């Protein structure tokens, strides 16, 4: 699979800062979530989940904080698929500051989950193709 990323521009809000004048670590995870949702939108995840009662559920997420972010400012969240297995896949997010420097790098592992049966399931072929299509555009 050829790696392709999606980019999402976000504005840093005043409320994202902490007592020390830089963006709080919790805000980074909101940025990561925004990148993840942007990816879902590109794969039509909502339509797939509504039709099948299955969808991806977050198994784990981690973030390496590389450079502090400050208000005012803008960031770019760049999201790409790292791997696709039988029932799980990984997503990488890079958060860039106004100077186009990597401020953080995060990794998510997601599992396909049947919400009716309450169990993990193999990634359906149509969803796998959608993920791969977005990943290789």
Please give the Cα distance from 69 to 130 (Å, whole number). 33
DSSP β-bridge partners for residue 100: none
Could you read off the pLDDT tens digit of each residue along the chain, which spans 137 residues?
Answer: 455 789 999 999 999 999 988 999 999 999 999 999 998 888 877 777 777 778 889 999 999 999 999 999 999 999 999 999 999 999 999 999 999 999 999 999 999 999 899 999 999 888 888 877 775 54
Please give the Cα distance from 88 to 110 (Å, whole number). 5
Question: Tokens representing 119?
Answer: 């169990």
| Whole-structure pTM value | 0.89
CA dihedral 14, 64, 86, 39 (to 10 degrees): 30
pLDDT of residue 34: 97
Select from 67, 84, 60, 74 the least CA-distant residue to 8.
74
Query: How many degrees, rounded to 5, is the angle at CA 26 between CA 31 and CA 8?
Result: 5
Walk me through the domains of the chain, giving residue ranges and CATH numbers.
5-136 (3.10.129.10)
pLDDT of residue 48: 72
């Amino acid at each position: 699979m050829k790696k392709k990323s999606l980019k999402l521009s976000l504005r840093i809000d005043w409320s994202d800062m902490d007592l020390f004048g830089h963006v709080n670590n919790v805000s980074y995870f909101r940025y990561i979530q925004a990148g993840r949702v942007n990816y879902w939108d590109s794969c039509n995840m909502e339509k797939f989940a509504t039709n099948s009662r299955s969808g991806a559920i977050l198994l784990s997420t981690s973030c390496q904080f590389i450079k502090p972010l400050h208000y005012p400012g803008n960031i770019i969240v760049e999201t790409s698929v790292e791997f696709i297995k039988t029932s799980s896949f990984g997503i990488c997010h890079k958060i860039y500051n106004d100077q186009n420097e990597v401020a953080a790098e995060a990794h998510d592992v997601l599992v396909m989950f049947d919400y009716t049966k309450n169990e993990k399931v193999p990634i359906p072929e149509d969803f796998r193709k959608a993920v791969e299509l977005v990943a290789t555009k």
